[in-house]
A and B are shown apart, each in its own frame.
Chain A
Amino acid sequence: MDKDYGIQYYDYNNSNGVQYKGEKIEIIQVLEKLKLSSSKKINGYVTIRFLVNCEGKTGLFRIQQMNENYTEENLDKDFVKKLLDFTKSLNSWIPKEIQGTKLDYYQYLTYKITDGKVSEILP
């Protein structure tokens, strides 16, 4: 499927959440083990959006950072790089499928940062 027609956000998998082997908890637990933190006591959100292709491989990573007031703000360059590298390292994405056809789709992960640590992973 041409990347221009990748699914933007609708869940084609009966609302079963993030399509990752082991579900979202797997992503949470892998990140917890890494104990990533910022040297600064930052608060805000880092959102990384990317494409999952029909083979489950990722690419086209884009980052958006904002503070607690939903205003664009560069948080901590090194910490954000670690989050990007972590996101890129996730390699168990499940391709979406409609009527037996595997499709590309866009996925995002938002890291809520509280006092320099990831307090939640969304969606």
Chain B
Amino acid sequence: MERFQKYYLSLIFLAVYAQISAQVNCSIYTDENCRKACEISNQASDAQGYSLSQLAFDTAIEICPTYDDAYFEKSVPYLKRGDFITWKKLIDKAVELSPNNHLDYRGWCKFQFLRDYKGAIQDFDQLEKYRPNNIGYSKNGDYNLYVVKAICYSALNQKNKAIQILENLYKTKDYHFGLYDYYQLGVTYFETGKYDKALENFEKQSKNYDFAENIYFRSKVSKIRNKDYLDLKSLALRSYDEGKTMKDAYTHHFNKVYRKQIAEL
């Protein structure tokens, strides 16, 4: 029983932790039903994934069918459990009601959960009409969505386009660099055979935050150039074992490198 309680409490803690930033200010709704729907939705989002929470979103939708966040919140557990058909129907409804607020999330999820590169680019392009020059950040906070858009072009083998987007973005005044920004540009250069530019970016990355994958690519460039790469390889493996790798709670990062790949270098 005690074991179960601990487990249950951990689940609640995680649910609250994951959703703590998702609370909507309900006072902005002048319609009483929609304000109530907002309050119900806020409360239900604290217990994400539980059936009572999902039923509460249904109630919110029933009393205010135009309340977009209830559709969005209801969609999330389906996404995380791999029921992408149900997720898509619900998130599409949220996007239809409020594209400005939900296209970022839909585009990010198309990329991160389904590697639907073209679908993600379409959403980001559509979002730009509502938010010119600032389409926001990925849900996990790791990327500016323009970086994700560039990654999508890279995955579609439009490497030069990806490089152009990233180079221009990084020159933007007051640009806030994400956790893996230089790494992603470095890998894209690497894939086009531009090792000087690749290394330049991996070095910049290492000054912000160094991790196993970034060290692995520096080692790889050294090996290609017939230079000593074994120290870097050892460092990459050590970093990997210390947990300094690209991490995500639900999926795997684009351009993630696994321990086995580093060991086989």
Q: Indicate with 1 or 0, residue by residue over B1-25, a CB within 8 angstroms of chain A CB atoms.
A: 0011011101100100010000000
Kindly provide the distance from the CB of B119 to the nearest chain A CB, expressed in whole angstroms: 8
Kindly provide the distance from the CB of A43 to the nearest chain B CB, expressed in whole angstroms: 11
Do A120 and B115 have beta carbons less than 8 Å apart? yes
Kindly provide the distance from the CB of A111 to the nearest chain B CB, expressed in whole angstroms: 11
Say which one of B185-193, B197-205, B254-262 lies at the interface with A: B254-262
Q: Please indicate the chain A residues that have their CB under 8 angstroms from the CB of B77 in the complex.
A: 8-9
Q: Please indicate the chain A residues that have their CB under 8 angstroms from the CB of B115 in the complex.
A: 112, 119-120, 122
Do A11 and B84 have beta carbons less than 8 Å apart? no
Q: How many residues of B contact A (CB 8 A)?
A: 35
Closest residue of chain B to A123, judged by CB? B251
Kindly provide the distance from the CB of A11 to the nearest chain B CB, expressed in whole angstroms: 5
CB contact under 8 A between A99 and B6, given known A8-B49, A9-B49, A106-B81: yes
CA distance A77 to B11 in the complex (A): 37
Do A11 and B258 have beta carbons less than 8 Å apart? no
- A contacts, CB < 8 Å to B: 1, 5, 7-12, 14-18, 22-26, 45, 47, 49, 64, 66, 68, 70-72, 98-99, 101, 103, 106, 108, 110, 112, 119-120, 122-123
25 contacts between A and B (CB under 8 A): A1-B4, A5-B8, A7-B11, A9-B77, A10-B11, A10-B14, A11-B250, A14-B243, A16-B243, A16-B247, A17-B251, A23-B258, A23-B259, A25-B261, A45-B114, A47-B83, A47-B84, A64-B84, A66-B85, A70-B85, A101-B7, A108-B82, A122-B114, A122-B251, A123-B252
